[in-house]
Homo-oligomer: A and B are copies of this chain.
């Protein structure tokens, strides 16, 4: 099997020492990725975007890999500012305040009129809005409760491309065909696990993420659109490394690290479900290119159905399925 120009449309590369440790595990096998801006402080000025991109490029070294940069959404952004930064970014990421790692400065009301200046400017400049769609409600209901906010935004800003990030519920899947301007990214772990895997047997901190993995019927709904390569969905790993000690502590941080094994797991998943390589190709690259209208550096990843034992850690970061065997291996990567 070969995959061309795979893209990870939702990636946390972090910063500093962690960036140095993990950047290559994405750059070696992906052509590019949408880079999340939730650093401390969040990436919210042109200077910060440019400097962060340069730090990423340095960490990547000689690999062929495009970091598609994003900005941390603030309602105060005006058109002049957005015009000045447009060429440096691919999207803007909106976080509800306090909903996940380093999201304290996010949006706390979703008053359309308060958001109108920034979101209309984004519509006009054709900058997509990526959204972490969760309320502060009960953990299993947060995403479903956010559906009404997606509907409100999609209706009020019909020309704004809104990407529902890392969707985990049937309720989000159902929105895709209801609103022309709603799209979605889906992680590999939400295609594989439910809350049962996190907390049904022993408690598994390395499978703990936000949004939390949901019910079997939610996973089934995600699988259906991913395996069919629904044109409005695309792969975004939400790979979110934390140091081992922060994952195995009394209060474990949210985030699953999948970058180095994401393509292998996707190959296995599509194979197990008799979905075509064409669909996988669309899910992992083609759809994203269409949705974002981006050009992507060439890269061909060759995969084979040969067991791969996932390492216990990558530079001190424990990946999903550490020490377990998965069915596919990457045999070769060609940068053309």
For residues 180 through 200 of chain A, which have their beta carbon under 8 Å from a beta carbon of chain B?
194-196, 198-200
- In the complex, A56→B151 CA distance in Å? 61
* Partner of A199 from B212, B216, B250 at Cβ < 8 Å: B212
Q: What is the CB-to-nearest-CB distance from A284 to chain B, in angstroms, rounded to a whole number?
A: 29
Interfacial chain B residues near A198, Cβ < 8 Å: 199
CA of A330 to CA of B205, assembled, Å: 35
- Among the stretches A37-45, A229-237, A251-259, the one at the interface with B is A251-259
A195 contact set on B, CB distance < 8 A: 138-140
Where chain A touches its partner, the secondary structure class is: loop
Query: Could you tell me which residues of chain A, from 198 to 224, have a CB within 8 Å of some CB in chain B?
Result: 198-206, 208, 212, 215-216
Choice from B205, B216, B254, B318 contacting A138 with Cβ under 8 Å: B216
Complexed CA–CA distance, A135 and B138 (Å) = 24
Q: Kindly list chain B residues whose C-beta atoms are within 8 Å of the C-beta of A140.
A: 140, 195, 215
Residues on B with C-beta less than 8 A from A196 are 138-139
* A278 in the interface (beta carbon within 8 A): no
- Find the B residue at minimum CB distance from A141: B215
- Which residues of the partner chain B approach A201 to less than 8 Å between Cβ atoms? 251
Does residue A114 face the partner (Cβ distance < 8 Å to B)?
Answer: no
Residues of B within 8 A of A205 (CB): 203, 205, 250, 252
Q: Please, could you name 11 A-B residue pairs with CB atoms under 8 Å apart, sorted by A?
A: A138-B216, A139-B195, A139-B196, A140-B215, A201-B251, A203-B203, A203-B205, A203-B254, A204-B250, A204-B251, A205-B205
